[in-house]
């Protein structure tokens, strides 16, 4: 009998292991393709890297490299060559190798000074180093090439204005792009600095699978969640099995609230105002590009790798200033082919507090005049807090407001970045 029970347990375990995930597959691949080395392979690579010429990564490039490492940019195997750069910039499609024709909305590139690039040949290996000196990876050079930076900016950001933070990133990068496959050796500070929320795509999928979820909506945020954000997430919970509240953990522009403060504020909101087991709080290691519509598409691509079937796309998604219309990030999905992207947008219009309804509402549900509406934005909230103004409770939950007030109280007024209301955030 003991043997029979053991055999049954083995059978049950095998059946469990073989059960297919209900989640969407990774982008352009049946499986995730993480490029992060571990164990002895990593030790050997680090030893080799210490003897190689180096390229110092910008903050954006470092975040991109980590995403390549953890499989967030599946199926890419490194930094893009000239054909892929051109295809992505002009047509949002890769052009070379096994991934030719695959939808990809924003170039993932590495740059270097011309003097560095002139000393590199095809097949050479180069160590990729963070600004603090940490060896982050090894790149095997495929080619070096120059680009029209203004053309990239116009196509990706729809502007060449150097005041745009994403344009600034491109204009300040090295003169030459270095293409090639990568071996990633570090995830940087993210696993230790954010141990509770930093999750790789594989780890996130494991959590989602354990819950038995099939439809998952990603909520992209670089801000603490205010009442409109909360409302958007709860709409998605009504539609999907659950929501992944997915916070950007990389670098932001001046005036944005740092990740550790956002993490605490979002956790407090979840603990107090969401039903248990309907949302998961997690984070990812990219910097913001502020590319508006194109960045919304990139958000959908890598959220597919994280297992999400949907991406919540509200007002001014990934926008900055007045460079984009309030719902341009929704409209751009209409130009994506039906077979290009599995993860689909959940398009939600203006959301606001309505004084007449005495509740959160949207432009599809509320019958009252605009004079009754209190439109909330992360920019408005940051501006009020940074200037020590009163914030109405219909802007944000009181527990969240207290965390944010405590953060600003620790910054001298003269040291606080100016927050301007422009574009959709000023409405």
Provide φ and ψ at 155, rounded to 5°. -70, -45
Q: Which residues are catalytic?
A: 222-223
Angle at 226 between CA 391 and CA 237, to 5 degrees: 155
Please name the residues in contact with 281: beta carbons below 8 A apart, sequence gap of 6 or more.
Answer: 196, 197, 245, 247, 263, 266, 267, 270
Whether 187 and 86 have beta carbons less than 8 Å apart is answered as no
Whether 136 and 130 have beta carbons less than 8 Å apart is answered as yes
Provide φ and ψ at 267, rounded to 5°. -60, -40
CA distance 229 to 377: 9
Paired tokens of 412? 């001298």
CA distance 183 to 130: 15
Whether 111 and 174 have beta carbons less than 8 Å apart is answered as yes
């Amino acid at each position: 009998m003991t043997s029979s029970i053991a055999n049954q347990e083995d059978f049950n375990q095998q059946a469990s292991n073989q059960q297919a995930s209900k989640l969407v597959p990774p982008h352009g691949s049946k499986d995730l393709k993480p490029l992060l080395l571990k164990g002895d392979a990593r030790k050997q690579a680090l030893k080799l890297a210490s003897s190689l010429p180096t390229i110092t990564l910008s903050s954006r490039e470092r975040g991109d490299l980590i995403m390549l490492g953890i499989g967030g940019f599946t199926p890419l195997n490194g930094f893009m060559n000239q054909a892929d750069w051109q295809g992505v910039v002009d047509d949002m499609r890769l052009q070379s190798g096994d991934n030719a024709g695959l939808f990809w909305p924003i170039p993932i590139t590495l740059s270097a000074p011309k003097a560095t690039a002139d000393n590199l040949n095809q097949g050479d290996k180069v160590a990729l180093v963070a600004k603090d000196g940490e060896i982050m990876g090894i790149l095997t050079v495929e080619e070096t090439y120059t680009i029209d930076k203004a053309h990239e900016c116009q196509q990706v950001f729809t502007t060449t204005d150097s005041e745009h933070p994403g344009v600034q990133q491109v204009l300040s990068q090295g003169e030459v792009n270095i293409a090639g496959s990568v071996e990633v050796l570090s995830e940087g500070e993210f696993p230790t600095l954010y141990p509770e929320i930093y999750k790789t795509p594989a780890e996130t999928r494991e959590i989602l699978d354990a819950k038995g979820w099939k439809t998952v909506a990603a909520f992209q945020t670089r801000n603490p969640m205010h009442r409109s954000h909360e409302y958007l997430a709860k709409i998605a919970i009504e539609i999907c099995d659950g929501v992944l509240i997915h916070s950007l953990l990389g670098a932001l522009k001046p005036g944005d609230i740092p990740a550790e403060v956002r993490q605490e504020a979002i956790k407090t909101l979840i603990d107090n105002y969401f039903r248990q087991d309907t949302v998961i709080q997690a984070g990812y290691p990219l910097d913001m590009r502020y590319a508006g519509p194109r960045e919304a598409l990139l958000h959908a691509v890598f959220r597919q790798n994280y297992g999400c079937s949907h991406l919540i796309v509200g007002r001014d998604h990934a926008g900055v200033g007045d460079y984009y219309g309030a719902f341009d990030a929704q409209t751009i999905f209409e130009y994506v082919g039906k077979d290009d992207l599995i993860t689909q947008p959940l398009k939600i219009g203006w959301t606001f507090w309505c004084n007449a309804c005495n509740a959160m509402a949207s432009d599809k549900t509320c019958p009252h005049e605009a004079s009754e509406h209190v439109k909330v934005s992360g920019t408005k909230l940051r501006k009020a807090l940074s200037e020590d103004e009163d914030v109405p409770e219909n802007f944000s939950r009181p527990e969240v407001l207290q965390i944010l007030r405590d953060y600003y109280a620790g910054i001298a007024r003269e040291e606080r970045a100016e927050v301007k209301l422009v574009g959709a955030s000023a409405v």
